[in-house]
A and B are shown apart, each in its own frame.
Chain A
Amino acid sequence: MATTALRPAATYRTGLYEWLTTTDHKKIGILYTFNSLILFLIGGIFALAVRTELAQPGLQFMTEATYNQMFTMHASVMIFWVVIPFLAGFGNYLVPLMIGAPDMAFPRINALSFWLLPLSAMIALLGFPLGGAASAGWTSYSPLVQAKFSTGPGTDLWIVALTLVGTSSILGAINFLVTIFKMRAPGMTLFRMPVFVWTILVTSVLVLMGTPVLTSALIMLYIDRNLGGSFFNTALAGGNAILWQNVFWFYSHPAVYIMILPAMGIVSEVIPTFSRKPLFGYKAFVFATAGIGALGFSVWAHHMFTTGSVYLPFFSLMTFLIAVPTGVKMFNWVATMFRGKIRFTTAMLYAVGFLSLFLIGGINGAFLASVPVDYHVHATYFIVAHIHYVLFGGSIMGIFAGLYYWWPKMFGRKLNEGLGKIHFVGIFIGMNLTFFPMHLMGISGMPRRIADYSATAGWNDLNLLATIGGFTIAASMLPFLWNVFITLRGGEPAGDDPWEGNTLEWATSSPPPPYNFDHLPPIRSERPVFDRRHANDVPSLTAGH
């Protein structure tokens, strides 16, 4: 123990007790990362179960009841225990470093935010040994979700688990906002903050305003199911099934921005570094992020076009408007790369992969904003294709870009680039093989959430292709896991600043000491580390001293 104070890197190996009780934002960030990775594998197994069953028409491997649990838990796990906390984990690790703070504003609340995650995941998964997990779909529409149709403890456990995840998110959002507003280093004005911090700021506002509404919806659902309430239960006087959809989507649409904005932030750090240029249009990017956040609260009913109880022109128009700030960002990224000195590291490949796949997800999303098109493809595989192009092609690609980019900072060792590129090629090909055919299935009418389909419907080849793609994604995770394993045992030492980064996390050691910074470079722009590296290149830059 005596040597650990001298060698900060060694504090990361001080045993289980330290990890269980830590309030250090960096360790909590790493806990978030590994918890999310484990649940990514669990959620991936559910996805493989779904794809295996759908490879051919007929029921080969599971009952319809089991299938319902598989797709419900796949979506729930991936949304609530993988993408959202994965990105929150990056936020935990990076926000204090990027703004030059010693830790988050409330370190103990931060630890609570994390520990609610494995607890709630276990509660949700407990449904399997207790007679069936939740199976009404992650959207849990009434009346299907009511006690009469969704028997067993699975749905109630799911409600409790989601309430706990929501609490974790809300506490995390408060922590991020106070940290960003109160803990910035001298010189770190709001418009000098790294774009990733901006995206976490806007995301936190969305969490703060949206997640409590989901909590209220879940509580009403719990009362309906267990105490004989009649909020959404149309079998009782006054119950209104559409009410659930309104309250649920009021959170769950902003939730897709909660899941994409920080990934956009990650990409906006990776692309400038590996293009050796500043981000094109920093302020435009910040305002676009805020714009997406603000518009995000006025589009929830585009999930409900076919219910006949929403004002279609308004929600359609607002949904189309979301494409404007998103297009601004796309322009920013492409313009950043234009005439840049691009280095195709694994992180950069993932960032470019993000751009191409998210572009497809954005364009087919604009199709869905059109009411007539939505009427045709509502609740078909077209929706499944769209959500996976934005959440897998967008969020997950962004997450992997971030992992390869910041892994050297987190552990002081670089992930192997060769294995990383194999991982990328596998996941990119597998992802398109899986999800592109789903557009065609959806247009030809294949409904989502079915365990079986007619052999003569013309969906056989497309489904087989999607299943092959699913297993390609799974196989591509093997080189990644091997990469993580060998790197943790001793990869190539990274040094403080392996990529020639721009932002403050690269100004400290890898991994950083518990207190983050011995001293900070002067902060006079949004790229303080770049400024320090090139302080002597141009005489005029040093005039300020």
Chain B
Amino acid sequence: MAANSSALTPHMTAQGESRAHAQRGISNPILGMILFIVSEVMFFAGLFAAYFNVRLNATQWPPFVNEAAFQPFQIHHEIVLPAILTTILVLSSVTMQLGVSAIRRGDRTGFLRNTGITLVLGLTFLIGQVYDYTQLGFGITDTAFGSTFYTLTGFHGAHVLGGAIMLSVVLYRGMAGQFSAKHHDAVEATSIYWHFVDVVWIALFSTLYLL
């Protein structure tokens, strides 16, 4: 405890200077979030690499559920609901950015409204995704296609859930009045993460349903 209290004593010029030094440019939490997203990109790169690997090695894509019955996955025919979900997620990125712009201006009401809408849109996406899972006629055990499809979309869904939790925290802290035009690193970091989750979904949607 002595360590903690003395760590807070501001009597070192060097520390004060380095703190002033750190205020220039991008802030620590935002740089941390950007670096974290670099690692997330590499994580999804691994999963995408697996997807393209099995796809390029397959004789037929999407492959047959059961070779005897010749019933290929009709993933391209199931595109309506995913397209709606894509629109919802892209819209949520727009509202997220509106929220960030609002708090940059110091408009707390606009920030809270837009963050709330973003959260609702995100949760709608998740519910739609789970519903979509129940409608698809195949599971994770159905060939490498099923494995890659559910792993990619499942981990994306988990990231949406993570983003929704971050949004809830931001919303809670925002309602407690903790953010202002000058002090809102958590909002900026959350918005970067949310945009990243959106971009991953666009890549996923294009790869799985369109390509």
Beta-carbon contact of A514 and B35 below 8 Å: no
Set of chain B residues within 8 Å of A211, measured between Cβ atoms = 39, 42
Distance (whole angstroms) from the CB of A37 to the closest CB of chain B: 23
The complex places the Cα of A215 from the Cα of B155 at a distance, in Å, of 12
Known: A14-B2, A220-B47, A238-B54. 16 other contacts (CB 8 A): A1-B1, A18-B3, A105-B32, A174-B32, A178-B28, A182-B28, A208-B42, A209-B38, A212-B39, A212-B41, A213-B43, A220-B151, A228-B141, A238-B145, A239-B144, A240-B57
Q: Is B22 an interface residue (CB 8 A)?
A: yes
Interface residues of A in 246-293 (CB under 8 A from B): 246-247, 250
- Inter-chain contact A185/B21, CB cutoff 8 Å: yes
- Is there a chain B Cβ closer than 8 Å to A520's Cβ? yes
- The reply to whether A178 and B46 contact each other, CB–CB distance below 8 Å, is no
B3 touches A14 (CB 8 A): yes
Chain B residues with CB under 8 Å of A238's CB are 54, 57-58, 63, 143-145, 147
Residue contact A186 to B35, C-beta cutoff 8 Å: no
Complex contact B140–A4 (CB within 8 A): no
Interface residues of B in 113-153 (CB under 8 A from A): 140-141, 143-148, 151
- A11 to B140 alpha-carbon distance, docked (Å): 54
Does A170 sit within 8 A of B, measured CB to CB? yes
- Contact between chains at A178 and B1 (CB < 8 Å): no
A22: chain B residues at CB < 8 Å are 3
The minimal Cβ–Cβ distance linking B108 to chain A, given in whole angstroms, is 27
| Interface hit among A96-104, A318-326, A332-340, A368-376 | A96-104
Q: Which of A229-237, A352-360, A471-479, A483-491 contacts B (4 or more CB under 8 A)?
A: A229-237
**A366 in the interface, Cβ–Cβ < 8 Å?**
no
Docked CA distance A175–B32 (Å): 7
Per CB-CB distance, the 7 closest pairs between chain A and chain B, nearest first, are A238-B144, A216-B46, A228-B141, A212-B43, A229-B147, A4-B2, A212-B42
Determine if B21 and A186 form an interchain contact, defined as CB atoms under 8 angstroms apart.
yes
Encode contact with B along A167-179: 1 for CB under 8 Å, 0 otherwise.
Answer: 0001001110110
Contact with A along B61-87 (1 / 0, CB 8 A): 001000000000000000000000000
In the bound complex, CA of A217 to CA of B45 (Å):
11
Cβ contacts A1-30/B at 8 Å (1 or 0 each): 100110010010010001000101001000
Determine the residue in chain A with the shortest Cβ distance to B141.
A228
Contact status A220-B141, CB under 8 Å: no
Say whether A223 faces chain B, with CB atoms less than 8 Å apart. Answer: yes
Q: Is the CB of A227 within 8 A of B140?
A: yes
The answer to whether B5 touches A178 (Cβ under 8 A) is: no
B contacts with A, residue count (CB < 8 A): 50
The docked-state distance in angstroms from the alpha carbon of A11 to that of B1 is: 9
A80–B42 CA distance with the chains assembled, in angstroms:
20
CB distance from A405 to the nearest CB of B (A): 24
* B93 CB to nearest A CB, Å: 23
Interface residue? A219 (CB, 8 A): yes
If the complex has contacts A174-B32, A185-B21, A238-B63, are A230 and B144 also in contact, measured as CB distance less than 8 A? yes
User: Which chain B residue lies CB-closest to A248?
Assistant: B46
Do the beta carbons of B9 and A243 come within 8 Å of each other?
Answer: no
The residue from A175, A236, A515 contacting B9, defined by CB atoms under 8 A apart: A515
Contact A101 B18 (CB under 8 A): yes
* Chain B, Cβ-Cβ closest to A26: B3
User: Cβ of A216 and Cβ of B50 under 8 Å apart?
Assistant: yes
Task: Give, as a whole number of angstroms, the nearest-CB distance from B138 to chain A.
Answer: 12
